[in-house]
Every structure is written in structure tokens, then in C-alpha cells.
Structure 1
Amino acid sequence: MAQAMKIAIVDDEQDMRQSISQWLALSGYDTETFASAEDALKALGPDYPGIVISDIKMPGMDGMQFLKKLMGSDSSLPVIMITGHGDVPMAVEAMRVGAFDFLEKPFNPDRMSELAKRATGARRLTLDTRALRRELSDGGQIMKKLIGTSPVMDRLREDILDLGQADGHVLIDGETGTGKTLVAHALHAVGSRAGKKFVLVSCAALEEEALAKRLFGPMQPEDSMLPAVEEARGGTLVLEDVEALSEPLQAKLLSFINEQGIPGETRIIAISNLQEAGKTSEDVLRADLFYRLAALRITVPPLRQRGEDILTLFTRLSEQFSEEYGCDAPQVTAQEAAQLLQAPWPGNVRQLINVAERAVLQSRRGSGTIASLLMSDHEDMQPVVTTEGKPLKEYVEAFERMLIDNTMRRHKGSIASVMDELCLPRRTLNEKMAKYGLQRSDYLG
């Protein structure tokens, strides 16, 4: 859920502080007031979850000094300055230093609310981006996103940890929607370049000329970014849909790789989406480039090979969507669990996300079933549960594990509540949790 935005109001005049605070509170903002810049600085850290509205003329540390201190601590913090009539030159200087905008006394309260709305929106985006970058640079956190206990996922995590420590370029292939970009983030996060730049370019999203410029330049004076090969220097450059590179761009990329030598200063991770087309990147890339990019290789497994991970993922996703939409997560029947396991999932995890969201929306309306969603996605799928391809025992065990996992999660690890709901004696519940690798400590809180 989005973080609530605060507004820090800094003014030496009590009446002004109170009137601004009251007006913004009526607009739905969480406000806090400070009588001096010195007091405010003690409370405003570099990740302050909000914005600042400050008078320019104050005793002690004035607004300009205060602004410079704030910009030195967090240059992205939106600060709205309040100026007296005729202080426009000072307001212009404040904007040059880094102020978000200014209000001239006497100001229109509606104008202040509009500025606050724009500033808090910008702040939320900044903080969300920072949080994402921290998460993507935290190897432990991002590895947790690779959910599943199936043998193919255990092997994938081992490959990421092994290859993450290597210096060679990496080729990631696999079907669409399997999470190849997430694997690229994980490779960067667990390796020696974790603190360096991670630059991602979608080769299929740009026309030839625009792609060449984005990758290699030259950039125009008005452009706000460097060419990708320069921006990623010393870090990781990820090329999504690498098969979309034309022959001339493949030649330029090969020259860039050769110029770097071995090991390269910049690591390249190439992502290929050709598997479902019956081709491989080896078929469409020039041989010398392919062998340089595929020095190390990871194939991300399709969802249909991940067994009961499908049920675990569906549970996590439906819980997230139910929280977002403010309703209960749908309860999966044994028949629906079997059909989730049997579905061909041509869209893989991306498709599972869509099914989970639609299931939650159906549940909120009180109509529809998970089976009906699967049937609409797969016209050739039969509504009758069969055991073709897997022993019945595997379906039963997968459903049993999901049921215990969901119940433990819902009751936050209360063994007594789980025993009561599932009508299981303590010893039987303990045995089944041990069998399925479920630990009470994972559900507490």
C-alpha cells in the first residue's frame, strides 16, 4: 500500500503555522509544524515521507539557509517556499537552489493545496523508486521473490548464486512470462556489481535509429541520459529481446564487448524470448556475438514444470490482490487446485498473475470460480479433473500442503486455530507440516 505523505510546515509565526496546517488537514494531509528551521532539521531526514512548506524570512536560520541544508541532505525533497510581497527575486533564487515552487503572500489556499498535491505526488514517486532500487540491490530480498520449492526452482537459485559471482556475460532464455528480467535483477544483486548501475534496455521497444542512439549514442545536448553502454559502465547492462538487434547493431555490440577485454568492465546480460517460436538466439544472432553473450547461460523453467509452486504462487498473489481490493482471498477447492496444476500456462507467471487478480475480483462480486477462469483461458481444458500425467497422490499432497499453508497464514501461526479449523490432532498437524517443510515461525505476526 502507498505510504501516507506528510507535510512539514516551518514558520516562526504560530498563527500562520496553524492556519496552513488546518487547511491542509481539511484536504486530507498529515501535517506537523515547526517554529524554527533548526527544530525542523532535527526531524527531517533524507528519506522524509513527505514535503516541506517553509517561510523564507525567519529569525535564526532563514528559509534560504534551511533550503540549502535540506537540498544537501536530500536534493529530491520537494520544498515549497512562502515569500512576502515583492520578494520574487528571492523566490527565483530559491528555485535555483532547488525549491519545488513558491507561494507569494497573501496566497490562495486552493493554490497551496494544488502545489501540495503535485509535490506529494512527486515525493511518493521518488520514495517508491528508491525503495525499489534498494530492494533490487538487496540480493537476499530479490532471491525471496523467486518463490518455490520445486527442484527446478532450487536449481535456478543455485545457478543465480553461482553465475552471479562470475564475470562472464550471461544469456537468459525461456518462455515469455517466466520472470527472466527478475532473474537478471537477481544476478546483478548477488554479484560483485550489486552497488553499481543496473541499466535495462528493451531492444524490441525502439526503432532501429532510436535503439542505436540509446545504446551507443551520440546523445544530443538536450538529452538527460548517457548512452546505455556509458551509463552502465562498471555495472550491468541488460538487453531484453536481444534477438531484435539488427546486424549493424550486433556488430557494434560485438565491438564494444571486444574493446572491453576479458573480464569486461561492464557485464552484459542478454535476455532472449525466442523459445516459444521454435528458434533460439543462436539462430538469429551472429555466431561470434552469440558465443560471447552465452559464455554463461540460464534457462528459466516454464510454470507448468514447477509443480505445487503453482499453488504457492497463486496463494501469495491472491492474498496481495485481496489486500489491494479490500476483500477476502478466494478459497481454492480441491478440483480447482488440480486444474491449476494441470493448466498448460502458455503465459507462465504473467498469466498466473492475471488469473489470480481476476479470481479476487470474482470473489469480491460473489460470483464465478477459478475453474471458469482457467476454462476461459484454455478452451481445450476439460472441466473434469483427471490424473493424466501425474499420480493422484501428487495432486492430493499439493492440495493438502496448500490448505495447511493457507490456514496457517490466515491464523498467523496459531496452531490451536489451525487444528480446530482443519479438525486435525496436534501430532498429525506436526507430521504434515514437517512432511511439507512448513514451519510455524514463518507465519508468526
Structure 2
Amino acid sequence: MSRAMKVAIVDDEADMRQSISQWLALSGFDTETYASAEDALKGIGADFAGVVVSDIKMPGMDGMAFLKRLMSMDSGLPVIMITGHGDVPMAVEAMRVGAYDFLEKPFNPDRMTELAKRATQARRLTLDNRALRKELADGSVLMKKLIGASPAMERLREDILDLGQADSHVLIDGETGTGKTLVAHALHAVGPRATKKFLTVSCAAWSEDQLAAKLFGPSEDGSIPLIEEARGGTLCLEDIEALPNSLQARLLTFINDQGTPPETRIIAICNEHAQDKTLEDILRADLYYRLGAMTIVCPPLRSRGEDILTLFTRMSEGFAEEYGCDAPQVTAQEAAQLLQAPWPGNVRQLVNIAERAVLQNRRGSGSIASLLMADNEATGPAMTTEGKPLKEYVESFEKMLIDNTMRRHKGSIVAVMDELCLPRRTLNEKMAKYGLQRQDYV
């Protein structure tokens, strides 16, 4: 979702608290402030949806004691420590304990923003991985999340099932927002390593030295390097395009030393590269060919046809339940607009549109068309979809309408016939045509 992650600011000096809060708020963060570590602990728990910025020197519980409490509660919580002049040895000790990074007063506000952005990116990835791990009882759970009946999605699910059984390393490519991380988890969950560890690290969320320590060691806090911790399982490298050249060489050595089949499987995810460059241009050739022996490309949303309407319906229904209101009813014109939109942000953009459509509907104002127009203006020129015959738009809308009505009436054929003014035979023929079965709604 589009909600900003929180930044908890802990400092006994009111002016410092306020200035950090104002600066980060202007940078788009959702801030909350605490005058003491004791107060902060009342509002920060395990799985806190954000990061912490804390002064080291505070009365009562100082920053080091506070950091240790946070690490014992949630070792994956990024904590940025603020130190006074001359407190660098203390900051180094904080890094050993588990701090994400530190800033020495007086610090550059832009540096604070940069650190906060990297820390929230790392935190979001950690929380996403935790949520997904809870659903890894069997691979079918994740496969069901890959919604869609389009040929592109059928091929994607087939590729996951085939490559999931293999031992070779896998490269996942595709536009932003196409669900590449979900595909990586599914690859692990449907294969023989499903009961082993699945560890993820973003190559873009850490500095070169920090990433080297996390991947290969030695780490200042004594934690096990990820290449060792993932032994026998899967190590997923997000943002592989951001992997520094020096670490590309070390990763290649690690892969070559494993032999065949590899003890640890590498899944590399490319999240962004320039339009005039391929990943082969970005990574060193020998590493690219080792990682790209098996490749999955996640299809863009604009190529998935009526999946767009299916996804929009499911998402808007979910948000409507969350906000305690009705989901918006999509008109034929709006269905066509959804199908024709370029979707540069893919599924992630569709999630945002669905949520905002529900909120608009709750207020009784706005339209899906206005949301799409605003998104296109914000993202700038994008690829456009090809025109389709009117018959395809009509059929997509008709299928969505029957599907929505069946869901609303929990499979009651009589209620659906009455609402849509269809005789039973016509309804049965259309449900058969679109692959809709009553038992799926009961």
C-alpha cells in the first residue's frame, strides 16, 4: 500500500526532536516523537512498521540500553543512533550491538533523509518477508496469490512449478510492481528446499561495506553471514543491479566454489535498470551467465487483459472490508478505461488505485477515471496498450459483472438472475463461457 512508513524519533531535547520530525515529515515520512526511551518502548514493539532514530545520551535509559532492548525484541528493526562530538567509539559499539547506522552532531539533514530512506526500504523488505514466511506452510498458498487466468499468468505459474524443482540459480526480471518478490518466495515454497531457510537481502538498502559484512562476514555484531545462514536453502538477492563490482566478484567465487548441484540456491531479482540497458550490460558477464541460466520474466499488467478487472475487484473488495464500506461498482466505461490504461507501476499501481477508489466511494465522490488520469500525470508519459476489438471489452466487462454479482450473493443463482435480469439458461451459458462455477462462490 501507499502509506508512508513511520519514523520514531527519541530524544530528550525538545528542539532536536522537533527539528528532526519536521525535516523528515517534509521528506514524506510519518513521524512520531518520544521524550524518553521508556515512553518509546510503550509505542514500539516487534514488527513495528517503521524505523527508529534515537539519541545516545539521554537521562534515565540511555540510547545504548534502549538499543539493546529493541534488538532483543526485534533484531531486524533498523535503529539510527545520533551521537555527540567525540562519541564515535560509542557509536561503533552501537553498530556492534545492532544499530543500522549512526549520525554525528551536527549532521547534514539530507544525510538523515538518505539514511531514513534506506532504513525504511530495508524495514519494509523485512516485514514483507515475515508476512510471506507465515504463509509458507505449503507452496499452494503462494501460488493462489498469483491471481489471473491470462496466458501470461498461466505461463508464469508453470515456470514457477518447473523451475521450483530445479537446483540451478534463477534470475527474476520484469518491470517494477510486477510481483517479483512474491515469485521468488513461490519458487522456494514449491521446491525441495521449502523446509529450509529462505533469506532475503536488498543490495540497494546497505552501503558496500555493510552489504559485504552481511553477505560474507565478518560482521561487527558476530552474526552469521547470510551465505552461511542460508546453507541448504535459498538466498534471495533483491536489487541485484545495485550489487557493487567488488561484491559481484565475491559472489561469483562463492557460486563457483559450491559445485553442482549448489548447496545454497541463489535467486537474484532485478528491480530496475535503464531502458537502454539490460541486466547483462550491468552485471559482469560471468556472473550474469551463472545467475541467468534460468530466467523468469514477470509479465507487465498491461499484457494481462481481463486479469486487470479480476485484480481490481479482489483488491477493492479487500479494502472495502478493511474500511467498513462498500466497494465501488465499476461501469462499462470504467472497465474499458482500466483495461486500456498503460499501468507503468503495474500491480503495485493497481493496488493504490483500488484503495483510493474505495476511499472515494466511501465519501461519495470521484471516479476511477479521475484516479487514472491523476496517476498518468504523476508518472509522466508511459507505454500505451494496443487497441482491442469492442467485443473483447464487452466480454471482459460481462464476466466481471457476473463474477461480482455471484460473489455478492454468495452463489445464489436466483438472486443473480433477478439482479441481472437474465433467464437461467442464459446465465448458465455465460458462466460456462467464462469459466465461472457456482461452487466457487458458495
TM-score, normalisation: structure 1:
0.68
> Which runs of no fewer than 5 residues in structure 2 stay unpaired?
1-72, 74-127
CA contact (8 A) 2:172 2:297 kept: yes
2:211 pairs with 1:211: yes
Task: Give how far 1:170 is off.
Answer: 0.2
**Residue pairs, 1:205-244, within 5 angstroms:** 205-220=205-220, 222-223=221-222, 225-244=223-242
Change (3 A) 1:276 1:143: farther
One-letter identity of the residue aligned with 1:353: V
Any conservation in 1 of the 2:342–2:385 contact (CA below 8 Å)? no
Kept in 1: contact 2:312–2:350 (CA 8 A): yes
- 1:262 corresponds, among 260, 263, 266, to 260
Equivalent runs, 1:299-310 vs 2, <5 Å: 299-310=297-308
SS in 2 for 1:399: helix
Paired AA for residue 142 in structure 2: I
Going from structure 1 to structure 2, the CA distance change for 1:307 and 1:163 (only over 3 Å counts) comes to: same
Residue aligning to 1:322: 320
How far did residue 157 of structure 1 move? 0.4
Structure 2 equivalent of residue 367 of structure 1: 365
Would the alpha carbon gap of residues 129 and 240 (structure 1) be closer, same or farther in structure 2, given more than 3 Å must change?
A: closer
Deviation at 1:230, TM superposition (A): 1.2
The farther-off stretch of 388-397 and 267-276 is 267-276
Q: Secondary structure at the match of 1:200?
A: strand
* Contact preservation (8 Å) 2:341, 2:385: no
Report Cα offsets for 1:186-212 as digits up to 9, x if no partner: 100000000110001110111111111
CA shift at 1:277, angstroms? 2.9
Matches within 5 A, 1:9-408: 132-220=132-220, 222-223=221-222, 225-274=223-272, 277-379=275-377, 389-408=387-406
Secondary structure of 2:399's partner?
helix
Aligned CA distance change for structure 1 residues 299 and 210 (closer, same or farther; 3 Å): same
Contact 2:175–2:271 (Cα < 8 Å) also in 1 = yes
Q: Report the AA paired with residue 260 of structure 1.
A: Q
Distance 1:132 1:301, change over 3 A: closer
Q: 1:346 Cα deviation (Å)?
A: 0.3
Alignment check: 8 A CA contact 2:234 2:267 kept: yes
Q: What is the count of residue pairs matched by the alignment?
A: 313
Q: CA deviation at 1:130?
A: 7.6
Distance (whole Å) between structure 1 residues aligned to residue 361 and residue 367 of structure 2: 8
Amino-acid identity (%): 77
CA contact (8 A) 1:174 1:275 kept: no
Whole-angstrom CA distance in 2 between matches of 1:268 and 1:132? 18
**Code of the aligned partner of 1:329:** A
- Residue type of the alignment partner of 1:289: L
CA distance in 2, matches of 1:143, 1:305: 20
2:136 counterpart SS class: helix
Q: Deviations over 1:146-194 (max 9, x none)?
A: 0000000000000000000011000000000000000000100000000
Taking a change above 3 Å as real, the CA distance of residues 171 and 130 of structure 1, as seen in their structure-2 partners, is: closer
1:34 alignment partner in structure 2: none
Provide structure 1 residue ranges, at least 5 long, that are not aligned to the other structure: 1-75, 77-127
State the TM-score, normalizing by the size of structure 2. 0.68
Q: Are the structure 2 counterparts of residues 387 and 272 from structure 1 closer, same or farther at C-alpha, using a change threshold of 3 Å?
A: closer
Which digits, 9 at most, give the CA deviation of each residue in 1:77-112, with x for residues without a partner? xxxxxxxxxxxxxxxxxxxxxxxxxxxxxxxxxxxx
Answer whether contact 1:172 1:300 (CA < 8 A) is retained: yes
Taking a change above 3 Å as real, the CA distance of residues 232 and 345 of structure 1, as seen in their structure-2 partners, is same
1:218/1:340 Cα in 2 relative to 1: closer, same or farther (>3 Å)? same
Q: Deviations for 1:255-294, whole angstroms, at most 9, x for unmatched residues?
A: 1101111110000000112356332110011111001001
Contact 2:320 2:326 in 1 (8 A): yes
1:88 corresponds to which residue? Answer: none
C-alpha distance 435-377 of structure 1, shift in aligned 2 (>3 A): same
**2-side partners of 1:288 and 1:423: how far apart?**
63
Whether the aligned pair in 2 keeps the contact of 1:175 and 1:276 (CA below 8 Å) is no
